[in-house]
Chains A and B, each alone.
Chain A
């Protein structure tokens, strides 16, 4: 027995397919869960921070103070909340996210043309909110200087912005491809993480090993059905993002498919490696969740941009397939990037999936010798 026998791999694959079919729960989940989650969170997630609860303590009650409050509320980002006696206390209890203090004499000083200061306090316990609020403040200060202080023009120099690829900054166009990348990768890891461990626990692995099937055939036979299953899930996700959310697809479909295939193989191999290395379902699952879930959510660039990380972590994330796939999916969907622009992610994913597959295979081989 030498080399790779397609027939034997096929038999292992057929056995695995029967496993999947016998458990309709897994089948339905693998096909339906990605599209369900993408659709739900596509609607739910919005990274733009709005409706910031602003408590105003206006001790001036003059016209300029009223104008300043209007500038805040008409920006569309702030909603006023009734300020009681203890305005800072409202931040403590979370009834307000920010507070604006206008001292007595504010309007009089503004009329006199003198420089005047209003105090703005915000809740820094939620950085995602606070960072957005500080961004809005710059614009509000400019518009206050213009409307209240009578500065000649809002700014001596106007900025004309053109947003490429997503002119209206529709955040769904941006979240949905990213979500798809995360959910698909996770599901692929979870599906294979238990396959080999289960056989070890049930003792059926010994049986499989006593047959002439070679390790590479077992691995191939175990991967192929799951790869097909997950690609089926990808197909539904694609349909939903195109037709439910109207995300434009500017790139090439064959390239997208190639990337999906590479990514799915890398995730499946990761799961398989975990399964081979742990041999026990409970440990395998802990590993899969810890290695799969949090890093792919937090270190892939889905929410926190990879470029903003400290240099060490910027390099560290290079060993994570989701990081590359995230870049590729966003590039293909919105920018219409081709293989030339995505050469680096492509090579990286290719190398990672080959390495993970080889790792799983090697571990599997050494494991078989008692």
Chain B
């Protein structure tokens, strides 16, 4: 590597890492975030406040009620028997209410009219859907087991096995996602702001007047951020591996190559943003415009495939989604070649497009 470029990179790294707060932000924040999100978030819906209304002498219903609270999904609500179930939900004291018939479950089902009413607060539609599924599952299991219906095992049974994450631990699923998000965020902001800053402070002119070629300036301004991005990736990966026991089932070279190409893409996008922005505020808003959709359409929090087809097409232009798929595939599934190379190809195309565009715009701003 030529000596001017090396000096340039050194200056750039020193400038970024000089500030203690920046060092903390770069290397401390990702690990803290990984820890918080890994521990806090769960895709399972729990602690649903349930009120079960039934006549005092209804033994069946009391047994069912026990099933609900011992399932771990529901927790009891304090209420008096005379209260209006609707009022309980409207006031937010309960998320759901089950109302058994007055004559008792056993008698009403003997007459062939066995039914309970379920009221659900559907202001959260996802949660409401889950609550209904839970209730139906618990009721049919409890009913079959407690002698309400036939005590025989169900005639057709599905034997369910979950691959790659048998205990369905949320951290295994979310930690790779948070890793991708944090790396994406840091590299884009760092690059976009650094160039915009030089322009705002007027130091950009100094660099331009120095005996450096266009390519050298561009590389000198971007390589340090690629290196920092890689360091952050390695750090978060170590944290994920040691704190959360996220496995690394695929080959490491896939991880390294995927991260490198992904970071080159994000740094190019950052450069592109900074060539368009006139000052740091615009660079920040530009970064936001890219980051927000990229994160929401990455499949980190909910599957991309649910989106309307036109939007899915746009999601394939999202480098974070490709990186996400590579990360999950390598870490959890063992890095199947098909997944790796298709996403890698897409990432490489995006890296070239964004890099080429950034170089062009950059040259224009230099002249």
Taking Cβ atoms with an 8 Å cutoff, the residues of A that contact B are 23, 25-26, 29, 33, 37, 40-41, 43-51, 68, 88-89, 91-95, 110, 113-131, 134-142, 144-145, 148-152, 155-167, 169-171, 173-174, 183, 186-187, 190, 193-194, 198, 201, 278, 280-283, 285-290, 293-294, 297-299, 303-305, 307-310, 313, 316-317, 330-331, 333-335, 337, 341
Alpha-carbon distance between A361 and B320 when the two chains are bound, in angstroms: 38
The answer to whether residues A149 and B170 also contact, given A160-B117, A289-B185, A310-B40 and a CB cut-off of 8 A, is no
B89–A164 touching, CB < 8 Å: yes
Alpha-carbon distance between A317 and B306 when the two chains are bound, in angstroms: 28
- For the complex, is B242 an interface residue (Cβ under 8 Å from A)? no
Alpha-carbon distance between A293 and B296 when the two chains are bound, in angstroms: 11
Give chain B residues whose Cβ lies under 8 Å from the Cβ of A148.
155-156
- For the complex, is B295 an interface residue (Cβ under 8 Å from A)? yes
Alpha-carbon distance between A149 and B182 when the two chains are bound, in angstroms: 51
Max chain A C-beta neighbours (<10 A), residue from B92, B162, B181: B162
Taking Cβ atoms with an 8 Å cutoff, the residues of B that contact A are 19, 21-22, 25-26, 29, 33, 36-37, 39-48, 86, 89-92, 105, 109, 114-130, 132-133, 135-137, 139-140, 143-144, 148-150, 152-166, 168, 170, 172-174, 178, 181-182, 185-186, 189-190, 193-194, 197, 200-201, 278-282, 284-285, 287-289, 291-293, 295-297, 299, 301-303, 305-308, 311, 325, 328-329, 332-334, 336, 338-339
- Among A46, A155, A198, A307, which residue has its beta carbon within 8 angstroms of that of B46? A307
**25 intermolecular pairs with C-beta atoms under 8 Å apart:** A25-B285, A49-B303, A68-B156, A115-B156, A115-B157, A122-B161, A125-B165, A126-B299, A134-B162, A138-B137, A141-B156, A149-B155, A159-B118, A160-B115, A164-B123, A173-B125, A174-B126, A190-B288, A194-B284, A280-B19, A288-B284, A294-B33, A303-B302, A310-B40, A331-B123
A119–B161 touching, CB < 8 Å: yes
A157–B37 touching, CB < 8 Å: no
Max chain B C-beta neighbours (<10 A), residue from A37, A173, A282: A282
CB distance from A63 to the nearest CB of B (A): 13
Give chain B residues whose Cβ lies under 8 Å from the Cβ of A40.
293
Seed contacts A144-B156, A313-B39; 19 additional CB < 8 Å A-B pairs: A45-B302, A88-B163, A127-B173, A128-B302, A130-B168, A134-B168, A138-B133, A149-B156, A151-B155, A159-B116, A159-B135, A159-B136, A171-B125, A174-B123, A187-B288, A280-B19, A285-B189, A286-B22, A293-B295
B303–A117 touching, CB < 8 Å: no
CB distance from B280 to the nearest CB of A (A): 4
Look across to chain B and name the residue whose beta carbon is closest to the beta carbon of A342.
Answer: B92
- Among A49, A145, A157, which residue has its beta carbon within 8 angstroms of that of B105? A157
A190–B284 touching, CB < 8 Å: yes
Alpha-carbon distance between A45 and B45 when the two chains are bound, in angstroms: 19
Give chain A residues whose Cβ lies under 8 Å from the Cβ of B109.
156-157
Give chain B residues whose Cβ lies under 8 Å from the Cβ of A183.
292
- Among B160, B166, B295, B328, which residue has its beta carbon within 8 angstroms of that of A126? B328
Look across to chain B and name the residue whose beta carbon is closest to the beta carbon of A161.
Answer: B118
Alpha-carbon distance between A118 and B157 when the two chains are bound, in angstroms: 6
A125–B328 touching, CB < 8 Å: yes
CB distance from A290 to the nearest CB of B (A): 5
A190–B25 touching, CB < 8 Å: no
B336–A92 touching, CB < 8 Å: yes
Look across to chain B and name the residue whose beta carbon is closest to the beta carbon of A94.
Answer: B339
Give chain B residues whose Cβ lies under 8 Å from the Cβ of A110.
155-156
Give chain B residues whose Cβ lies under 8 Å from the Cβ of A91.
163
Give chain B residues whose Cβ lies under 8 Å from the Cβ of A123.
163-164
Give chain B residues whose Cβ lies under 8 Å from the Cβ of A116.
155-157
Give chain A residues whose Cβ lies under 8 Å from the Cβ of B126.
47-48, 171, 174
Give chain B residues whose Cβ lies under 8 Å from the Cβ of A33.
285, 289
B173–A125 touching, CB < 8 Å: yes
Max chain A C-beta neighbours (<10 A), residue from B29, B159, B174, B292: B292
Give chain B residues whose Cβ lies under 8 Å from the Cβ of A47.
125-126, 302, 306
Give chain B residues whose Cβ lies under 8 Å from the Cβ of A316.
36, 40
CB distance from B335 to the nearest CB of A (A): 9
Max chain B C-beta neighbours (<10 A), residue from A127, A128, A278: A127
Give chain B residues whose Cβ lies under 8 Å from the Cβ of A48.
125-126, 129, 306
A135–B164 touching, CB < 8 Å: no
A149–B306 touching, CB < 8 Å: no
Alpha-carbon distance between A137 and B42 when the two chains are bound, in angstroms: 20
Max chain A C-beta neighbours (<10 A), residue from B40, B114, B200: B40
Alpha-carbon distance between A290 and B291 when the two chains are bound, in angstroms: 12
Give chain B residues whose Cβ lies under 8 Å from the Cβ of A121.
160-163
The answer to whether residues A139 and B123 also contact, given A156-B109, A281-B280, A286-B22 and a CB cut-off of 8 A, is no
B281–A92 touching, CB < 8 Å: no
B155–A113 touching, CB < 8 Å: yes
Alpha-carbon distance between A173 and B121 when the two chains are bound, in angstroms: 13
B157–A331 touching, CB < 8 Å: no
Alpha-carbon distance between A16 and B365 when the two chains are bound, in angstroms: 29
A128–B121 touching, CB < 8 Å: no
The answer to whether residues A289 and B287 also contact, given A126-B299, A156-B148, A171-B126 and a CB cut-off of 8 A, is yes
- Among B86, B149, B282, which residue has its beta carbon within 8 angstroms of that of A152? B149
CB distance from A256 to the nearest CB of B (A): 15
- Among A124, A150, A289, A330, which residue has its beta carbon within 8 angstroms of that of B164? A124
Give chain A residues whose Cβ lies under 8 Å from the Cβ of B40.
298-299, 304, 309-310, 313, 316-317
The answer to whether residues A124 and B166 also contact, given A47-B125, A118-B158, A310-B39 and a CB cut-off of 8 A, is yes
